[in-house]
Chain A
């Protein structure tokens, strides 16, 4: 755990006094301190291209009065700097007459260990694995023209000090290992990308040659794409594979169920609470409590313990995801979803691990039920316009389905749909729920946070596929 006041002219008790003085008539607020260390080691074009290390230290001071949020952040943890921030907050809020809400739930549960993954493996060992990755892949297939592999490791220590001196802390490890392969055959180039990660040591994902399966998967995707035909254009049935394709859930309904958009009534879901928004059998949760997952958190960035929040139960909209601000204004409680990229940013309600739970059909049954459509297995990313509800996601591995059978692979294409209605088009839910491999980052208002997704195979009756073949 970092001692943020060790090398500062500011003592903890002085900081507590400034915090309590600034927030005394505010409705909420806190001082958020953060110390993060991260590394990136990249192999590209047969060489170690980059080894870099970042150390980031700073604080963000937040005061909330009614709906107004005042925020000030700095890299300098000093008496002067904190006082200046306090002045900035007071200047914005001018006359405040709220009552500070001291209530914050407690929990002893932890969902990851207090480790620093960067220190657990030496630079030389990491470089050795990256070189092995490169050699392994290039010896497997003569068509390989480019291999990129990288390690990203991070340890983030956070401390939240609330008015009155209440203090909450968390230490969060996070790693990611990615492999990207480019193949060239008969003048045609295609890429395949795969990765793994989560809140554990590098070895949990890599030891005993486990890294080989990551390489194999990247190569498999690239090889499939090398044989792909132009994708069809127009509305058709779509079968989604289990795991990572749950980006659909994240984009189509996840963002629209975040508290801020619903308090402001700018989400297409804001007036649908308690109503049927999905087919029977569709249950979606957002869960921050799964051990070692990329999207899991012991406490959120306001200090609230995370939980498993049921968003949609058997087709009915049950809950939004809330931070403290939006929960107070909507007269409900925080779901432990208040997150920020780092101390430079304000807290927003965000997703953690968003999952559609298993049903009881098989993927085979779904494929057989489709005359003409596509089977989408792997995805690049997605985006949503939460107001109109329209969302997209980009396939990176997909096949056509003809008369109940999987046919040729098709080129990457964008799929577009309408969030509030798409889940009503789900006609089968598989029994094969799977977590994603742990590489997702969600962007909102310029802030990126690590998230996870999961789902079983599903059959969607109607979606628009953005190919070029009419």
Chain B
């Protein structure tokens, strides 16, 4: 059982009280508990079970403009006493920073809405096993599938965020996640792919059979890939890759990257950075949303932000510290975005595939090839050659490269947005990128 609010509140107020007694002028604390239970299957048999019970506390103390923090998984009072004393001592010895402070009181969240983020249902391991049996039987139907690994996790979490300014709030969240990784083989090649579903509520989780079949189909179609020549060609990003490009955009507009001057989007507010038709929203109040929240990791209330309006950048993602540095108010994005997404484009997935006589459809990228200082992008990629709207053959061992500044202005979106992750994009076409192959 995940610890209740009373237990977490008691620990939080103990820490705030002790920090004050030891000389901290302000302090904040987060206490959390997360209990998760996982069952893994491999080739239709039980492979692993894993139960984890994680407690954590992190405390930040201020003495005037000096700041330091500690964290621990040991919540016994004895240990907390030693750590808070150490934290206050370290704070005294840390140089001042004029921008250090708790968030402004008038920006703190006043109410905690019920966003439907907690499902009380408990799923026993035997039920997880039934789900995985069904999943793996669907996944291994085809003789080309030589290995299946699947997993089911139930997670229940609870937290309290409190500070010496009187803020004290938290709530429970839950998630149910199923995934399947399959390996397919033919005479020439061996390939791997996956499918995944994660929801706040158990009853919303994808059907086991569908998920398994999807994973297997996506793997089999990758068999016997070819390598193509180097050329400039339109790239179509599958939704699961397109969302990563949106995440890179979010890192580049974080107030820390902006205030440090290490982003290619510095000083671009109110300027056009995407093509006209592009809108980007960050909406924290979607019911059952995987990224939904009432406030950010400092307690600041989070409202919906239209980050990009008809191609024009409207906001950075601002926390208290960097906000003060930039002379801007926090907009509740300490810790990043909530439910971030591109609004749907105007054309269907099918029409997007048809829009060029030849294009590359990318289903997986590997490597850490996004540079937010310069905007340069270069990653390894796997996908399919598309001709006249048809998938012709699988492709691998290529790279795709470009610069985000140009890529953003050459995006066309399909109208197939779905909320599968916390960050989501419709299928995305980018023109003008370079493929390196043979």
- By a beta-carbon cutoff of 8 Å, the part of chain A in contact with chain B is 7, 44-45, 47-58, 67-76, 81, 85, 88, 91-92, 123-124, 127, 145-146, 182, 184, 188-191, 231, 233-235, 264-266, 268, 344, 346, 380-385, 387-388, 390-394, 411-418, 464-470
**Alpha-carbon gap, A92 to B37, bound state (A):** 12
**Alpha-carbon gap, A315 to B378, bound state (A):** 31
Given contacts A48-B94, A146-B261, contact A70 B48 (CB under 8 A): yes
Tell me whether A416 and B380 are in contact (CB under 8 A). Answer: yes
B69 to chain A: closest residue by CB: A52
Query: Of the candidates A188, A346, A392, which one forms a contact with B48 in the assembled complex, judged by CB atoms under 8 Å apart?
Result: A346
Q: Whole-angstrom distance from the CB of A154 to the nearest CB of chain B? A: 14
Q: Identify 16 new A-B residue pairs, CB closer than 8 A, beyond the known A68-B47, A92-B125, A391-B366.
A: A47-B97, A53-B68, A55-B72, A68-B46, A69-B47, A69-B49, A74-B52, A123-B90, A124-B93, A233-B435, A234-B437, A235-B437, A387-B183, A412-B371, A466-B380, A470-B231
Query: Of the candidates A45, A70, A416, which one forms a contact with B397 in the assembled complex, judged by CB atoms under 8 Å apart?
Result: A416
Query: Of the candidates A50, A67, A382, A464, which one forms a contact with B367 in the assembled complex, judged by CB atoms under 8 Å apart?
Result: A382
Tell me whether A233 and B230 are in contact (CB under 8 A). Answer: yes
**Alpha-carbon gap, A233 to B47, bound state (A):** 43
Given contacts A69-B47, A92-B49, A394-B368, contact A464 B399 (CB under 8 A): yes
Q: Which of A50, A189, A465 is the most central at the interface, judged by chain B CB atoms within 10 Å of its CB?
A: A189
Q: Enumerate chain B residues within 8 angstroms of A469, measured Cβ to Cβ.
A: 434
Tell me whether B379 and A392 are in contact (CB under 8 A). Answer: yes
B400 to chain A: closest residue by CB: A466
**Shortest beta-carbon contacts, A-B, top 3:** A466-B399, A233-B436, A392-B380
Tell me whether B367 and A414 are in contact (CB under 8 A). Answer: yes
Tell me whether B379 and A466 are in contact (CB under 8 A). Answer: yes
Tell me whether A69 and B48 are in contact (CB under 8 A). Answer: yes
Tell me whether A264 and B147 are in contact (CB under 8 A). Answer: yes
Q: Whole-angstrom distance from the CB of B295 to the nearest CB of chain A? A: 22
Q: Enumerate chain B residues within 8 angstroms of A234, measured Cβ to Cβ.
A: 229-230, 436-438
Contact with A along B228-250 (1 / 0, CB 8 A): 01111000000000000000000
B436 to chain A: closest residue by CB: A233
Tell me whether A56 and B231 are in contact (CB under 8 A). Answer: no
Q: Enumerate chain A residues within 8 angstroms of B401, measured Cβ to Cβ.
A: 231, 233, 413-414, 466-468
**Alpha-carbon gap, A383 to B367, bound state (A):** 5
Contact with A along B62-75 (1 / 0, CB 8 A): 00000011111111
**Alpha-carbon gap, A184 to B374, bound state (A):** 11
B interface SS class: strand
Query: Of the candidates B55, B90, B190, B261, which one forms a contact with A182 in the assembled complex, judged by CB atoms under 8 Å apart?
Result: B261
Tell me whether A85 and B366 are in contact (CB under 8 A). Answer: no
Q: Enumerate chain B residues within 8 angstroms of A73, measured Cβ to Cβ.
A: 51-53
Tell me whether B380 and A50 are in contact (CB under 8 A). Answer: no
Q: Whole-angstrom distance from the CB of A98 to the nearest CB of chain B? A: 15
Q: Enumerate chain B residues within 8 angstroms of A468, measured Cβ to Cβ.
A: 378, 401-403, 434
Tell me whether B366 and A72 are in contact (CB under 8 A). Answer: no
Tell me whether B73 and A57 are in contact (CB under 8 A). Answer: yes
Q: Whole-angstrom distance from the CB of A399 to the nearest CB of chain B? A: 17
- Tell me the chain B residues, 370-418 only, with Cβ under 8 Å from chain A: 371, 373-374, 376, 378-380, 382, 396-403
Given contacts A390-B382, A413-B401, contact A67 B371 (CB under 8 A): no
B10: Cβ under 8 A from any A Cβ: no
A466 to chain B: closest residue by CB: B399
Stretch at the interface among B18-26, B76-84, B103-111: B76-84
Q: Enumerate chain A residues within 8 angstroms of B373, measured Cβ to Cβ.
A: 182, 189-191
